[in-house]
C-alpha cells in the first residue's frame, strides 16, 4: 500500500485557513508514512503553506482555464504553479464546473501537474475519466461531512467507480471520499480498488489533527 494517497482538503474551515493552515501543514509534514500526504489548500494560503512545509505536496482546491488578462476573480493555473502548487482538485461537489471546464484545464496545465477531478457518482466518474485526469475521486454529496464513511455506507459506489474508470482508462487513479475518518476506512477504500482517499473534516475538525492523521495511515 505504499504510495497510496491521503489528500486532506482544507476547504474554508477556520481550523485550516491562514495561520491555522500553516499549523496543519506542519503537522501533516511530520507524519511518518509511506503514503503520499497532500494538502489541498485555499489559493490564498498556497505560498505560506509551501514555505512552512516545503516537503509537503500542496494542491489547489480549484483552478480555472484562463490566460493572463481580464479575468477578475478567476484562479490562474500558472500563478498557482509559480506559488508552489503541484496539483489541483476540480469539480468538487461544493464547486461544480462543466466537463468543458475540466477538459480545458487539463489542456492548459503542464505535464507533471496533477489534476484530481471529483465525481458524485459512477456515471460522472466515467465521463471525467475519458478526459484522462491523473485521478478521479468519487464522493457522494449526501455523505460529505457525515459520520459514516462512504466505504461503509455505499461500498458499491467505490468498487463500481474503480471498475468503471479502469474500463475507460488504466492511466487514471481512483480516490474516494465522504465521511472518511479512520485507518480502517482508508484500508477498505484501497481494498475496494482505489489509490487512496480524499477527506476534510476527519482531520480539519478533529480535536487532535495529528492523532487523526496517524490513525488514517495506520494500516498502510
Of 17, 62, 76, 92, which residue is the catalytic one? 92
Catalytic one among 22, 57, 114, 139?
139
User: For cell 490562474, what's the residue?
Assistant: 76
Instruction: Give residues with Cβ within 8 angstroms of 151, minimum separation 6.
Output: 158, 176, 180, 185, 188, 189, 192
Comparing CA positions, the residue from 116, 99, 110 lying closest to residue 40 is 116
92 annotated active-site:
yes
Residues with catalytic annotation?
Answer: 92, 139
Amino acid at each position: 500500500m505504499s504510495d497510496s494517497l491521503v489528500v486532506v482538503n482544507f476547504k474554508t474551515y477556520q481550523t485550516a485557513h491562514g495561520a491555522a493552515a500553516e499549523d496543519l501543514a506542519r503537522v501533516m509534514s511530520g507524519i511518518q508514512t509511506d503514503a503520499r500526504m497532500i494538502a489541498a489548500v485555499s489559493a490564498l494560503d498556497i505560498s505560506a503553506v509551501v514555505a512552512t512545509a516545503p516537503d509537503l505536496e500542496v494542491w489547489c482546491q480549484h483552478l480555472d482555464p484562463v490566460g493572463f488578462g481580464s479575468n477578475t476573480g478567476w484562479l490562474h493555473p500558472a500563478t498557482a504553479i509559480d506559488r508552489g502548487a503541484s496539483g489541483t482538485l476540480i469539480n468538487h461537489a461544493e464547486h461544480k464546473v462543466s466537463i468543458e471546464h475540466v477538459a480545458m484545464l487539463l489542456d492548459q496545465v503542464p505535464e507533471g501537474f496533477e489534476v484530481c477531478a471529483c465525481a458524485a457518482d459512477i456515471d460522472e466518474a466515467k465521463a471525467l475519466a475519458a478526459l484522462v485526469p491523473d485521478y478521479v475521486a468519487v464522493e457522494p454529496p449526501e455523505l460529505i461531512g457525515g459520520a459514516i464513511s462512504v466505504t461503509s455506507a455505499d461500498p458499491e459506489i467505490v468498487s463500481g467507480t474503480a471498475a468503471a474508470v479502469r474500463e475507460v482508462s488504466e492511466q487514471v487513479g481512483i480516490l474516494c471520499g465522504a465521511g472518511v475518518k479512520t485507518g480502517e476506512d482508508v484500508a477498505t477504500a484501497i481494498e475496494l480498488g482505489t489509490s487512496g482517499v480524499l477527506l476534510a473534516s476527519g482531520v480539519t475538525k478533529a480535536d487532535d489533527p495529528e492523532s487523526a492523521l496517524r490513525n488514517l495511515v495506520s494500516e498502510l
